Amino acid sequence: MADIARITEVVEVEAKALGFDLVRVRYFKGGEIGDEEHTLQIMAERPATGQLVIADCAALSNRVSDAFDALEEAGEVLIEDAYRLEVSSPGIDRPLTRAKDFAAWIGHEARIELAELLDNRKRFRGDLTGFDADAQIISIEDDGVVYAVPFSLVANAKLILTDKLIAASRPLDASGADDIVEEQED
């Protein structure tokens, strides 16, 4: 199995060199039934915009590929199996992977899955109501009850796409997009 900590270390260096923040690195098998190929998924963002455009994705993909190739030539093989490299922006309904993500999205709806039970639950869905940076505690209101969730227990979390989230999201960078031409009917 691939060493995800080492892969993340290499990817983060390349993302930082381009001025990007690394959001998530995942290595998984398949995605569709019967799909046996592995995928290395990298999500990154520009700190100022919270997104990447296609040219940014291509630049990061090329840097990561070159870094992996250089390490392989030096005798360090990070991934033994054939795999797909997928580089993307985290999107509007982004995964929440870093403590600062929870702090940045207070007031928005999220789904949190824990690695172990807390108050006899592993799943919470509701509005993020706070984040205590010192104690690393996430506050989430689920069914009228506010739960204090230790960041260290979070296994998976993401924002839920709502009208409020769409309204609060920064405008998308449309650079590189084709011009929209509206045709009038006769």
Half-sphere exposure of 161 (CA within 13 A, CB side): 5
Q: What is the pLDDT of residue 169?
A: 78
Question: Between these two residues, 167 and 20, which has the higher pLDDT value?
Answer: 20
Fold designation for 4-88: GMP Synthetase; Chain A, domain 3 (3.30.300)
Task: Determine the average pLDDT of the residues in 87-106.
Answer: 94
The sign of the torsion formed by the CA atoms of 50, 51, 56, 57 equals: positive
Give the confidence band of 167 by pLDDT, cuts at 50, 70, 90.
confident
Which amino acid, one-letter code, is at 125? Answer: R
Distance CA 99, CA 25 (A): 16
With the C-alpha atoms ordered 47, 125, 93, 18, is the resulting torsion angle positive or negative? positive
pLDDT over 80 at 62, yes or no: yes
pTM of the entire predicted model: 0.82
Q: Judge: domain 99-168, CATH 2.30.30.180.
A: yes
Residue range 93-116: mean pLDDT, rounded: 96
Asked whether the predicted pLDDT for residue 22 surpasses 70, the reply is: yes
Mean pLDDT over the full length of the chain: 90
The CA distance from 7 to 29, in Å, is 16
Domain map of the chain by residue range? Answer: 4-88, 99-168
Band of pLDDT at residue 173, cut at 50, 70 and 90: low
The pLDDT assigned to 36 comes to 77
The torsion angle over the Cα atoms of residues 65, 66, 69 and 73, rounded to 10 degrees, is -170
Residue 10: helix, strand or coil by DSSP? helix
pLDDT tier for residue 174 given thresholds of 50, 70 and 90: low
- Among residues 40, 44, 32, 42, the alpha carbon closest in space to that of 80 is found at 40
